[in-house]
Chain A
Amino acid sequence: MTGLITPILMPKWGLSMKEGKLAAWHVSEGTMISPGDEIMDVETDKIANVVEAADGGLLRRRIGQEGETYLVRALLAVMAPESVSDAEIDAYVSNFAVPVAEDVEDTGPSHEFAELSVGRIRYTARPGSGTPVILIHGFGGDLDNWLFNIDALAEAAPIYALDLPGHGQSVKAVVNPGLGTMVSTLIDFMDHIGVKKAHLVGHSMGGLIAGQTAIDNPGRVASVNLICSAGLGNEINGGYIGGFVSAPGRKELKPVLGDLFFDQSLVSRAMIDDLLKYKRLDGVQTFLEALSANLFANGRQAVQIAKALGATSVPCQTIWGASDAIIPSGHAGAVPGARATVIEGAGHMVQMEQAARVNDLIKGQI
């Protein structure tokens, strides 16, 4: 009968997560859960988010206590149909292998590196079947911006997420930090992983790169999904771009990062520390100054792709956070023929703040 029992575990968001705090339950014992239902809030030292059910079922037992911290993959609850007895659930719970701290550290999909003409590029991959999806982060971001999307999307297709040149753990000495280098790197990357055609999902500047790639190489792009994308209008929050680039320390960076979110409390000390670690790597400062001067000087976007993208045959959708303080949500309707969705209760990082909605919209397109 244990085959009928489905566990609910502490999730693992990114390589560094070892434990998480179960902040609150959204479901009680006896609830019938459907896949995608919000079941609990989990907080780590870096981020807080709501966890959605991957599987459906009748919630029989809550083991995790609100306010307590659990290791990744610790058993938090059990789902099973009524035909399973309480005794069988007791046995399942007591026999469940408790994760060990040392094991938690080095598990999960790791990162890989590709040597491309631009230099070394870091990426991560999730296997699957069908046309692959490539996730492209925005200005100053990295592949961890897709923490709440990558595993959910992997249920539908093979997923790749990369660190763009100058970002994350990819090469920092970039010869021409501009859109052309980003597009050619993306095509090089597709060649490297042996992908002829892919769905492109781009956030912010990553959307501009995805769109330009579709315009230049329509045969290689199955669809473009533009999240709070650059390239669809003139305006961009120049104070954010300039503030992010110039912030020398925590005190200056913290208020700037607030612009990214609808819920300002998501700007954690760990998030600020991680971004400072990135900004302090040799070469990053020069790179960010050059890239922002090329693309976003004086609070204006230098490149517009909406019309040219609408003229291609590549299917396109736009997704926006209604409270985006970086790029106005009014740009969502700029691409002719594209489906536009504006999501309430989210800012520029809508793929983190409303991950479930964004994941559903992307799955709908792929």
Chain B
Amino acid sequence: MARMLSIKNAINEAIDQEMSRDPTVVMMGEDIVGGAGTQGEVDAWGGVLGVTKGLYAKHPNQMIDTPLSESAYVGAAIGAAACGLRPIAELMFIDFMGVCLDQIYNQAAKFRYMFGGKAETPVVIRAMCGAGFRAAAQHSQMLTPIFTHIPGLKVVCPSNAYDTKGLLIQAIRDNDPVIFLEHKNLYAAECDVPEEPYAIPFGEAKIAREGKDITIVAYGLMVPNSLAAADILKKEGIDCEVIDLRTLSPIDMDTVIESVESTGRLVCVDEANPRCSIAADVSAVVARDAFRALKGPIGMVTPPHTPVPFSPTLEDLYIPSPARIAEGVRKAMKG
């Protein structure tokens, strides 16, 4: 009996179950409890898109509405984590992370290292990421590479509801700071999700589709787009293997290299800007460690190196579409 659940509701369920299991799990964020025009406690708005709706009524002592100061409450969450709680800080958009970066990359990411392994910082920072929401350049970025660059941070960006629930539960139970990025254009995507809690270990990529001709590596929204591209290419006789990285730090390069060794070809698809991106990183490692397995140059499908446009027409052109991914694969097949 398939139980279909959206990514949005999978996030809610994961937080709900972990708060029930462990009273030290708390959440901080803007408008996560109540919102404009609601009764507050019972019918809480639950964040900008309603992800945490209803959690305050179930866990009134674990949900904290904060002032509109990301630097203050992200810092508070990190401090609370260092002192024994397991906080989840919700930023509405990853784009707002800039004002909290000292707390994240210079404090949370460094505590374990600087205190001789004696300090732990079990904090999760959740935020929406990605383009296609008509939210303009300051609310649409895919900033994953900024966080994968920092040792001491774990970075997660799921593509489906099953993985979202299991990876978020793992993030909450993890003893290190985790940046958990949710693609806002995938919130409604549904799949079969068990009711029971479960944790998916970090650093394990998933083969989303088996294929023998070429490997496509993707994460987040680029996974469904790559699967759609694989459907287009199947009709042309090109059999694509699609790898969903799921976690970007740690990253499962073993699965990628194993796949490239069997297909001999690689296209990296990334919604982040092309310079110093996840796609660039994966390409570099494959070129270094599996060069002899490659039958042709590695392909990359990314947005241009520009801000995310506000014009809907331009925004649609900006995001790597199934058609553009398919074109990237055709090119790599010829190389």
Contact = CB atoms under 8 A, between A and B. Distances in A.
A255 to B, nearest CB: 15
B2 A15 contact: yes
Contacts of B200: 280
B314 interface: no
Contact of B1 (A110, A277, A282): A110
Contact residues on B (Cβ < 8 Å of other chain), bracket: 10 to 19
B197 A269 contact: no
B198 A282 contact: yes
Interface string B1-15: 110000000000000
B198 A249 contact: no
B1 A280 contact: no
A251 to B, nearest CB: 8
Interface in A274-318: 277, 280-283
Nearest to A16: B2
Contacts of A169: 194
A61 interface: no
A277 B165 CA distance: 12
Interface string A235-275: 00000000000001110000000000000000001000100
A166 to B, nearest CB: 12
Contacts of B236: none
A248 B201 contact: yes
A269 B207 contact: yes
A281 B198 contact: yes
A269 B211 CA distance: 12
Contacts of A15: 1-2
B102 interface: no
Given A248-B201, A249-B201, A269-B207, A280 B2 contact: no
A248 B1 CA distance: 26
A172 interface: yes
B196 A111 contact: no
Contacts of A249: 201, 204
Contact of A282 (B162, B192, B197, B201): B197
B210 A269 contact: yes
Interface in B173-207: 192, 194, 196-201, 204, 206-207
Interface residues of A: mostly helix, strand, loop or mixed?
loop
Centre residue among A15, A172, A282 by max chain B CB count within 10 A: A282
B152 interface: no
Contacts, number: 32
A242 to B, nearest CB: 20
A243 B290 CA distance: 30
Interface residues of A, number: 17
Contacts of B192: 16
A282 B2 contact: no
B287 to A, nearest CB: 24
B87 interface: no
B7 to A, nearest CB: 17
B194 A281 contact: yes
Given A15-B2, A269-B207, A172 B196 contact: yes
Contacts of A281: 194, 196-198
B320 interface: no
Interface string B132-156: 0000000000000000000000000
A269 B197 CA distance: 23
B243 to A, nearest CB: 12
B237 to A, nearest CB: 13
Contacts of A277: 162, 194, 198
Nearest to A273: B206
Nearest to B254: A251
B167 to A, nearest CB: 11
B224 interface: no
B199 A280 contact: yes
Given A15-B2, A111-B1, A280 B207 contact: no
A280 B162 CA distance: 12
B29 interface: no
Interface string A165-179: 000010010000000
A224 B80 CA distance: 59
Interface of A: 15-16, 105, 110-111, 169, 172, 248-250, 269, 273, 277, 280-283
8 A-B pairs closest in CB distance: A280-B198, A282-B197, A281-B198, A111-B1, A281-B196, A110-B1, A249-B204, A282-B196
Interface of B: 1-2, 162, 166, 192, 194, 196-201, 204, 206-207, 210
Given A16-B192, A111-B1, 12 more contacts: A105-B2, A248-B201, A277-B162, A277-B198, A280-B198, A280-B199, A281-B194, A281-B196, A281-B198, A282-B196, A282-B198, A283-B196
26 contacts: A15-B1, A15-B2, A16-B2, A16-B192, A105-B2, A110-B1, A172-B196, A248-B201, A249-B201, A250-B204, A269-B207, A269-B210, A273-B206, A277-B162, A277-B198, A280-B166, A280-B198, A280-B199, A281-B194, A281-B196, A281-B197, A281-B198, A282-B196, A282-B197, A282-B199, A283-B196
